[in-house]
């Protein structure tokens, strides 16, 4: 185990200089502090391991360019709330830290965590290519990641809902309503979650004995392309129901179907994914698969606690939940 003395020896400076640098003392140069932090990270030094203190300071790191959390109608608001609800009664302090790519370029993830004395992090909204996602492959600080999966680092955990189960519930519901020809509309398959949901759609169709060749899915980066190309194609093919990769797409699909002269759900049923707050207020209100965001936040804390207790937990998935509102209805043989 790396000690402050080890770092001092390596850099040829005093133990107290190392200690000052690690604790943000004002009387130390920025250059030296940077050097100490980098060396400490490189040598695998962590305060948590060193002092064996009970764990207290945690952070929720939000990639603010990708996910919003500040107001109740924002997607991540309840995730942050749920984490706090679970963490604070356990005696942990929770800081919410918005970051962007510029900050990630400036300081490495481990150095950031060490500098601010955080024992663990819950990360929201990161894309695969960002600098800290690279750092997390080898980080020594426990981290739970919402909807991101890092292979092979026992100090990281993926937290999310079970998208396969969710897709299964959606297809089962439509089948029970009499639908047989069901299409899937998705944004581009660039993220882990979009890939998982796309694969899950075909799996769910197969396991319910329904036909689904590749033409039954339409994926485009642009929402407009999904609405103007894939949706009309599905209607021409005689689809009676469409599952969308997320609620915003489903909401747009309802509007677009109506503009094309189709009634929802009398002519075509629509199911969304996520149950974002606006989904109760579309017309008709959206039948969708809920990501329970309060529970996702709580699970984030539970997963982090397990990691901090030495349980090398890698994946924690919440049960998905079907919320039936008005946008999916009975299919009458035409």
* Binding residues for a copy of itself (CB under 8 A): 151-154, 161-162, 165, 168-169, 292, 295, 298-299, 302, 306, 309, 311-321
Angle CA(223)–CA(228)–CA(229) in degrees, nearest 5? 100
Q: How far is the CB of 245 from a copy of itself (least distance, A)?
A: 20
Considering the complex, state which of residue 68 and residue 321 has its C-beta at the smaller distance from a copy of itself: 321
3-state secondary structure of 215: helix
Distance CA 186, CA 197 (A): 9
In the complex, least distance from residue 152 CB atom to a copy of itself, rounded to whole angstroms: 7
Nearer to a copy of itself, 169 or 226 (CB): 169
Query: Which CB, 194 or 294, lies closer to a copy of itself?
Result: 294
Q: CB-wise, 215 or 309, nearer to a copy of itself?
A: 309
Q: What are phi and psi of 215, to 5 degrees?
A: -70, -10
> What's the rounded Cα separation, in Å, for the pair 175 and 167?
12
Q: Measured from the CB atom, is 171 or 239 closer to a copy of itself?
A: 171
Helix (H, G, I), strand (E, B) or coil at 108: coil
Length of the chain: 334
Spatial strand order in the sheet of 269-274? 217-219, 182-186, 241-244, 269-274, 287-290, 321-323
> Shortest distance, CB of residue 157 to a copy of itself, whole angstroms?
8
Residues 186-216 as b/e (b if ≥16 CB within 10 A, e otherwise) read bbebeebbbebbbebbbebbeebebebeeeb
Give SS3 for 29. coil
Supply the minimum distance, in Å, between the C-beta of residue 212 and a copy of itself: 18
Q: How far is the CB of 299 from a copy of itself (least distance, A)?
A: 6
What is the token pair recorded at 117? Answer: 């004395």
Nearest to 64 by CA among 98, 96, 94: 98
Nearer to a copy of itself, 233 or 319 (CB): 319
Query: Considering the complex, what minimum distance in angstroms separates the CB of residue 315 from a copy of itself?
Result: 4
Rounded distance, CA 25 to CA 21, Å? 6
- Rounded to whole angstroms, the Cα distance separating 145 from 157 reads 6
Of the pair 16, 309, the CB lying nearest a copy of itself is at 309
Closest distance between a copy of itself and the C-beta of residue 62, in Å?
22
């Amino acid at each position: 185990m790396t000690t402050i003395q080890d770092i001092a020896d390596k850099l040829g400076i005093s133990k107290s200089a190392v200690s000052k640098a690690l604790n943000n003392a004002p009387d130390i140069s920025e250059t030296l502090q940077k050097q100490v932090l980098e060396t400490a990270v490189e040598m695998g030094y962590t305060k948590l391991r060193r002092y064996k203190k009970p764990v207290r300071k945690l952070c929720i790191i939000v990639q603010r360019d990708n996910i919003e959390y500040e107001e109740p109608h924002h997607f991540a608001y309840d995730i942050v709330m749920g984490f706090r609800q679970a963490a604070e009664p356990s005696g942990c302090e929770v800081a919410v830290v918005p970051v962007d790519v510029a900050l990630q370029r400036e300081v490495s993830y481990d150095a950031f965590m060490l500098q601010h004395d955080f024992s663990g992090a819950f990360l929201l909204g990161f894309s695969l290519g960002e600098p800290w996602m690279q750092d997390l492959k080898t980080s020594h600080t426990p981290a739970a990641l919402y909807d991101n999966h890092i292979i092979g680092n026992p100090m990281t955990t993926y937290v999310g809902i079970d998208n396969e189960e969710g897709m299964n519930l959606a297809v089962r519901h439509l089948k029970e309503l009499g639908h047989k020809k069901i299409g899937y509309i998705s944004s581009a398959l660039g993220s882990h979650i979009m890939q998982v949901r796309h694969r899950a759609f075909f799996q769910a169709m197969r396991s319910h004995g329904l036909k689904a060749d590749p033409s039954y899915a339409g994926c485009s980066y642009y929402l407009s392309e999904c609405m103007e190309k894939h949706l009309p194609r599905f209607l021409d093919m005689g689809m009676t129901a469409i599952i969308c990769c997320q609620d915003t797409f489903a909401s747009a699909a309802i509007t677009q179907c109506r503009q094309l002269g189709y009634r929802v759900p009398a002519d075509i049923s629509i199911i969304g994914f996520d149950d974002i707050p606006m989904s109760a207020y579309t017309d008709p209100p959206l039948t969708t698969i809920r990501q329970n965001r309060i529970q996702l936040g709580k699970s984030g804390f539970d997963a982090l606690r397990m990691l901090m207790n030495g349980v090398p937990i890698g994946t924690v998935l919440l049960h998905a939940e079907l919320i039936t509102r008005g946008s999916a209805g009975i299919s009458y043989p035409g």
